[in-house]
Structure 1
Amino acid sequence: MLRTASRIEQLIDHLYDHDPIVESERALLVTESYQQTENQPMIIRRAKALENILGKMKVVIRPNELIVGNLATSPRGTQIFPEFSNDWLEDEFDRIEKRAGDKFIVPEQVKQDLSEAFKYWKGRTTNELATELMSPETKNAMNAGVFTVGNYYFNGVGHISVDYKLVLEKGLKGIKEEVCTALKSLDYGDPEIVKKSQTLKAMSISLDAVMNYARRLADEAKLEADRETDSNRKSELLQIAANCARVPANPATSFYEALQSFWIIQAVIQIESNGHSISPMRFDQYMYPFYKKDVENGRLDEAEAQKLLDVLWVKFNDVNKIRDEASTKAFGGYPMFQNLIVGGQDKEGMDATNPLSYACLQATANTRLPQPSISIRIWNKTPESLIHKAGEVSRLGLGMPAYYSDEVIIPSLVNRGISLTDARDYGIIGCVEPQVGGKTEGWHDAAFFNIPKVLEITLNNGYANGEKIGLSTGDFSSFTTFDQLKSAFEEQMKYFVKLLVNADNSVDVAHGERAPLPFLSSMVEGCIEKGLSLQEGGAKYNFTGPQGVGIANAGDALMAIKKLIYEDNKLSIHELKNALDTNFGKEQNQAITNSEPVGTNKDLSQLSTDELVEMLKDLLNDNDTNIKKKDTNASQPMNEKDGEYIRQLLINGAPKYGNDIDVVDQMVRKVALIYCKEVQKYLNPRGGTFQPGLYPVSANVSCGIETKASADGRFAGEPLADGVSPVSGSDQNGPTAALNSVAKLDHHIASNGTLLNQKFHPSALAGEEGLRNLSALVRSYFEQKGMHVQFNVVSKETLLDAQKNPEKYKNLVVRVAGYSAHFVSLDKSIQQDIIARTEQQF
């Protein structure tokens, strides 16, 4: 293993030298296969399509690689998956290179190839079928920005972790034997035998295709070795060839083979379907036996094992995906959400920390790249040394690791019907979603539900942007008590959650009919036994997990309305409605959507109390119609100064979530519970249940664009609060108070995950004292039954300078939401959201 010190730098430079390229190879090969398999069962067509792709795609071994397996020919290149959707891509061909974030190069020949291939797919995509299955009311709600199911509406599902341990210990040949045994044991009297037999045959075809792909990699490595003049590199290539000739077909016999076997599986899952969040999960558990054996018998020392890990960590960043322009505002920074978690308990409830747990954290520190998205499980027996190591990585400023509480997640999963043994073996999928690896089809990120938008519709008696899309729950001006408003809000929430379920289930059925995934299914418990693909309910556990977005905004807004209108009589309903409809005097049009944010609260957060008082005095002195309680039905024009005064009153006249003030914290808790309790009532087409989550990825930005001004003092178009975090700038009492507020939420019911971001100035975590403070903060939060927390450790000044001089900060990685990304690759709206977050100090 020569040149390893510089190898990592060379591998990283090779990946990031240029903007990624869109490629057409997979699109052409999948189209070719589909044209040849008309009238065959869909799952057989899917297997043969994978066989065609893996048998003909160009295999590439990049310079200095030790672990091989490419998804595209070019570094960080992206393939196209026309079977899910394609119209949007053709429409955006000429804009993709000009995007503010997530740019791709699209060669002219690729455009021509794809345009030709797309002709075949007209009327055949999962997207088109899902659209046909949805009710008109559902589509109207989506168009109005109440929720989006775009993640799986346009793409593959992903969000999966297969049984990597099974692959490493039995090999694909062993899994194929299970498939063949199941096929032979089918009962000809079983009414489902036709479907089951086709599914099992498709699995067999797919497994053979992957083993053939590995042999092609081995052949390519041998060819390169024959041409190589450097003896050290020749030796490396011959070892790569030997590894790929053995795995993943056979059980791994060494740590190096196990890493190579793992990577081929990781790559092919994403070649079969473009769903992201293909997550390694408990990597330190299923890889440790190979690590331990090789270190103990002298085959590897710990330093050599670390070098192999570092090389794999770079390889994770070769995976890429193109999304439509609107989605890049919700998933900015080329994220792939490959979540890898260390620590926690084993299935018997004992601490599972091992030396590989520390080595994984070190690999993130060594490579300083956004992938894998590394996480750590914490419980009361987690060694302080592991948290200390995690803190050292946190203060590097990468936004990683994310911290998760076993004490909350394990019981929350048991409450959803998962056995205790399985629940103890959970990992994290994608952003923050708990899942049992190798046994679950979780459908996390199934939707993003805009809770402040529902409150906006409630205040307008079912109207949004001038169109009636909700229920008639009463004119706001007629409500004489806050409870009337709360009841109306609950009714609107119930209605729109039901439409959300209709949208998700429509997309779910479309994937089951048009895009079953036989290779992926072969590595998840239940599918072989049932003879069903994952998309048809084959997994042991089945869920659908839509996310609620903006609970802090909705809770703060309801608190302001309750206090200022119904308790203190400082504001009339008419004054509030007029202020919101005119964007606090900045706009006269009531429909303000799809616009850049027109204002900011940041100026307020910078004011001292005396300055704020003086500003309010000036507004009162200049305004002949100062804010005293007026008749609810009074009609009076407002100028811009009136609107700004009302905005400041909303911001400062009522308590805000995030400051450990129980009355408003309980209001936010109620908002979250309204959403969560409604979501969990429903079933999905795979025989599973819906489970709610409270995290946005970065959809709080795009949801904010769709939402008019809100009664928490937020301008129209501004981002919503991030996950369960307080509104940026409103948490003024320090990090402990913010965590105390968030811990009051019911994190157990939000079993699909909650997300809390905190931002610290680097000086806050300096030295051993800084690490001890961070550990104490995390443990204290988890003792109060918080589920998750993650930290950006970067100064506001650094982020502002990176905006102005991006060429100086190419390697700056920050936490966006449940993932990290290179800051300069983000759309400016997401950059601004990160900059605006409260910068904490201990």
Structure 2
Amino acid sequence: MTDRVLSFEKYREKFYQEFEEYYSRYPIPVPEAEKMLMEAEAENESFPCAEKSRIYQAAVHCPVHVFRYFPFYYEVCTGRARNGLTAGFPPEPGIGGTMMRKHSDIEKRFFSFRDYYKERNLFISFFFIDFAHHCIGYEKVLRLGLNGLIAEAAAKRENTRDMQELSFLDSVICGCESLKKIANRFASEAKAMAGTERDEEVRGNLLHIARTSARVPAEAPQTFYEALNTIWFMREIVMGLEGIGIAVIGHFDRLLYPYYEKDVEEGRLNRQEAKDLLSFALNLTDAKWDLRTNPPDGGANTAMTVGGCDQEGRPVYNELTRMILEIYEEQELVNPKLQARISRSHPAEFFERLARIAGQGKNVLSVFNDEVLIPAQVRQGKELRDSRLYVAGGCQEPVLSETEVNCRAYIYMSLPKLLLLTLRVGDEGFWEHEELEAVRADSCRNFEEFYACFLGKARQIVHRVSGYFNAFEREWYGYNPCPLYSSTITGCVEKGKDMTRGGAKYNTSSFSPVGFGTLADSLFAVKKAVYEDKFLTLEELRECLSGNFEGNERTRAYLANRVDKWGKDNGEINRLASRLADDLTLIFSGMPNTRGGWFENSLFTNTGYVSLRGTEATPDGRRKGEILSRGIGPGETTGHTNISRIMEGLGALNLENHPASAVLYLDLPYSPNQMEPKIYEAVIRSFLDAGGSVFDFNLTDAGVLMEAQKNPEEYANLVVRVWGFSAYFTALDRELQDEMIARNRSH
């Protein structure tokens, strides 16, 4: 096989240069496909799926591009942007956004609704459903191929009379047939290029593409190369046609190992060739995206899962896991995000390799605790076999592979603002707007009554907001059904329902509550300073917060420095935080969505801790404009703490109640000359022992970051973990750079 597998080391520079030359021209107009869609608009079509079928048909007429120095085929020029996720409103360029562009009224209505709450710092949302953090059912595609998906839909069609279902099934078949035609176009293009290619290795690569694309993914892949290409082919092309972001590229070591093992046994592949193929695949996103001059705000939204277990619960750690981790150690990757699922059943070698990646300051690693996250899914009524196959999408949002469609990371609600509304701080006209009874916290005789009042009002607000979002979600099917994506998800074809209508086996949603540490500290401050120590009254506290502590620095200093803090102190505040985490589960979960599913709880921050920093001053001593706490970590008023205290606080929480993840962001000092992997291995093990859910490693040095800010050209390759994504530090805007410097000074 050596005449077909390009050497990554030999061709890396040419591969990156070829990608840059091609993608720097994006977006490229696709007039023929757009003309077809414009002509189709004149036809009266009552079924959204039929309208989507026209996009699939138009895609067959879009140019395909085969790269000389890249072994995989996937690039169909649909008119999308270089950094395009084809996700959300306003719709990005390209035919995948055609239907959404016709429904701009939804965008206007949503932002008009959202801006009221954004201005009051109650929540921030960029979408009205989650367009971005999805995962194709790769298992199903690898198992059946496109022909198998077509046969499944055709069999269901024979026993269906419902016109809506027939329209969906016809669109599934149309989409899969279109992908087969596109693959054949790759075969023709690669064969033509090979005819004039002088470099024998490159020519072998092109002929391999030509032979393979004539068969795969129409048929189920049989080799490691075919399976790996099928994943990228489906992810990139389906994302471009469906107008949604497919963040997850799959559970590589679990999905691909059987193909690798078979190829090695039968002499078709050796380890180095497999590693070369993986290296090209894992470098695709960094080569394709413009991450330096025009970086996206939330990263490239590409995540890969390793480790974990199979459907029977057997730990996954194999030769592909080792290869993937070697690649992250040896190469300077920003993407894909490395999402490592781990448990105490995994071998010590897995812990050691992850620790080395963390200790090198790669800052691309998230660690997921199977011992918490799998039971958390089962508690929601999901089958154990399905729950074992979770992957991580976008940042750290779990989704069950092949069986679940969830909407995560699209509503970031300020927990401290919910408390402030209870205190009547920054609530001008709010209760009247919501047609809810105003809060009467002053009548609370003790902290227990105040706490109950807070929970009651928070529940009213959250349930009211979930209803607003459900109203928008109900329109999803009308402006962007996704039959092609749905064909890969268990339940959709069986029910004859698109994923936007609840076709998947599991259909979940979740809020992302922001500022848990700030809220825990603030409630504890109310408990101590107002009700127990009588340092000030509730009315005096309200005046301090409303005035941002102006003229009350003594009070602010007392609240910030004399009252215990979550993640720094133990005992009573840990008990309150534990109780609070459980009670938040009751507030943020259980509400129905419009797809036959429900909302699940998370403690996951993403961008919210920065976007909602305008939240008024809080009882923990935080001033207005200072960021909120991130994930389940300490608040910014906590000051210096240490990992053992943070883990002690973490151990007080029952994070199995948070199936949509509860993320701890660990910012640790980095010293390139004193890297000791055992330290980071101990951190991972202590995290498991504490019953943590998810954590991010970010090893940086505030001094280095300040130097990079002054002399960016000297630190062009400095990678940092921002929240749930990694980026070149010098490509971040000044606000985020300053926030990261401040973060590393204080921890």
TM-score relative to the length of structure 2: 0.91
Cα drift, residue 804 of structure 1:
1.9
SS at match of 2:304: strand
2:127 to 134, 151, 161: 151
* Deviations 1:363-397 (CA, angstroms, capped at 9, x unpaired): 22333222211111111210010111111111222
1:347 aligns with 2:311: yes
Residues 358-367 or 552-561, more deviating: 358-367
Aligned residue in 1 for 2:451 = 486
Partner AA of 2:504 in structure 1? A
Partner AA of 2:544 in structure 1? A
Distance 1:348 1:487, change over 3 A: same
1:816 aligns with 2:722: yes
Aligned residue in 2 for 1:723 = 631
Distance 1:666 1:15 in 2: 54
Aligned residue in 1 for 2:142 = 168
Partner AA of 1:734 in structure 2? N
Partner AA of 1:175 in structure 2? L
Distance 1:392 1:696 in 2: 26
Aligned residue in 1 for 2:483 = 518
Distance 1:368 1:73 in 2: 30
2:283 to 314, 331, 341: 314
Aligned residue in 2 for 1:246 = 215
Distance 1:257 1:282 in 2: 16
Quote the sequence identity (%). Answer: 26
2:11 to 7, 23, 44: 7
Partner AA of 1:812 in structure 2? L
Aligned residue in 1 for 2:666 = 758
* 1:521-560 pair list within 5 angstroms: 521-560=486-525
Cα drift, residue 494 of structure 1:
1.1
1:356 aligns with 2:320: yes
Aligned residue in 2 for 1:127 = 107
SS at match of 1:682: coil
Aligned residue in 2 for 1:77 = 82
Distance 2:645 2:259 in 1: 44
* 1:543-582 pair list within 5 angstroms: 543-582=508-547
2:591 to 664, 682, 688: 682
Partner AA of 2:284 in structure 1? K
Distance 2:176 2:536 in 1: 67
Cα drift, residue 79 of structure 1:
5.0
Distance 1:694 1:26 in 2: 42
Distance 1:484 1:277 in 2: 45
1:439 aligns with 2:443: no
Aligned residue in 1 for 2:682 = 776
1:377 to 321, 341, 344: 341
1:713 to 618, 621, 644: 621
* Deviations 1:121-156 (CA, angstroms, capped at 9, x unpaired): 454565357679xxx7x8743553312332345xx6
Distance 1:439 1:488, change over 3 A: same
Partner AA of 1:748 in structure 2? E
Cα drift, residue 35 of structure 1:
5.1
Q: Is the 8 A contact 2:242 2:484 kept in 1?
A: no
Cα drift, residue 64 of structure 1:
1.8
Distance 1:287 1:359 in 2: 12
Q: Is the 8 A contact 2:354 2:681 kept in 1?
A: no
2:713 to 796, 801, 807: 807
Q: Is the 8 A contact 2:492 2:499 kept in 1?
A: yes
Partner AA of 1:662 in structure 2? G
Q: Is the 8 A contact 1:704 1:717 kept in 2?
A: yes
Distance 1:460 1:765, change over 3 A: farther
Aligned residue in 2 for 1:286 = 255
Partner AA of 2:560 in structure 1? I
SS at match of 1:409: helix
1:205 aligns with 2:174: yes
Cα drift, residue 345 of structure 1:
2.2
1:61 to 63, 66, 82: 66
Residues 501-510 or 525-534, more deviating: 501-510
Distance 1:473 1:22 in 2: 53
Distance 1:765 1:736, change over 3 A: farther
1:825 aligns with 2:731: yes
Distance 1:752 1:304 in 2: 37
Partner AA of 2:565 in structure 1? K
Distance 1:522 1:793 in 2: 41
Cα drift, residue 30 of structure 1:
5.9
Aligned residue in 2 for 1:457 = 421
SS at match of 2:612: helix
Residues 121-130 or 441-450, more deviating: 121-130
* Deviations 1:426-445 (CA, angstroms, capped at 9, x unpaired): 22222222222011111122
Partner AA of 2:664 in structure 1? L
1:413 to 377, 397, 402: 377
Partner AA of 2:183 in structure 1? A
Aligned residue in 1 for 2:194 = 225
Partner AA of 1:221 in structure 2? A
* Deviations 1:710-731 (CA, angstroms, capped at 9, x unpaired): 2222221222111111124626
* Deviations 1:23-69 (CA, angstroms, capped at 9, x unpaired): 264799468526514422110111221321x2233322345212232
Residues 435-444 or 566-575, more deviating: 566-575
Aligned residue in 2 for 1:608 = none
Distance 1:579 1:276, change over 3 A: same
Q: Is the 8 A contact 2:124 2:611 kept in 1?
A: no
Distance 1:120 1:738 in 2: 45
* Deviations 1:240-299 (CA, angstroms, capped at 9, x unpaired): 222222211112122112221111101022102343353123221111111111222222
Q: How many residues align?
A: 737
SS at match of 1:342: strand
Distance 1:788 1:120 in 2: 34
Cα drift, residue 836 of structure 1:
2.8
Distance 2:495 2:78 in 1: 37
Distance 1:17 1:24 in 2: 13
Cα drift, residue 537 of structure 1:
0.8
Aligned residue in 1 for 2:239 = 270
Q: Is the 8 A contact 2:570 2:648 kept in 1?
A: no
Residues 61-70 or 558-567, more deviating: 61-70
Q: Is the 8 A contact 2:68 2:202 kept in 1?
A: no
Distance 1:673 1:445, change over 3 A: same
Distance 2:379 2:415 in 1: 25
Cα drift, residue 342 of structure 1:
1.3
Cα drift, residue 14 of structure 1:
5.5
Aligned residue in 2 for 1:595 = none
Q: Is the 8 A contact 1:320 1:335 kept in 2?
A: no
SS at match of 1:317: helix
Partner AA of 1:519 in structure 2? L
Partner AA of 1:159 in structure 2? H
Q: Is the 8 A contact 1:584 1:715 kept in 2?
A: yes
Distance 1:728 1:644 in 2: 17
Cα drift, residue 157 of structure 1:
2.0
Partner AA of 1:450 in structure 2? S
SS at match of 2:663: coil
SS at match of 1:725: coil
Distance 2:36 2:677 in 1: 56
SS at match of 1:281: strand
1:673 to 582, 585, 605: 582
1:234 to 203, 219, 238: 203
Distance 2:296 2:452 in 1: 36
Distance 1:519 1:118, change over 3 A: closer
Distance 1:652 1:462, change over 3 A: closer
Cα drift, residue 21 of structure 1:
6.7
Distance 1:249 1:437, change over 3 A: same
Residues 139-148 or 300-309, more deviating: 139-148
* Deviations 1:781-818 (CA, angstroms, capped at 9, x unpaired): 21232111221122122222222222222222221222
Q: Is the 8 A contact 1:320 1:334 kept in 2?
A: no
Aligned residue in 2 for 1:36 = 40
Distance 1:261 1:548, change over 3 A: same
SS at match of 2:560: helix
Q: Is the 8 A contact 1:25 1:57 kept in 2?
A: no
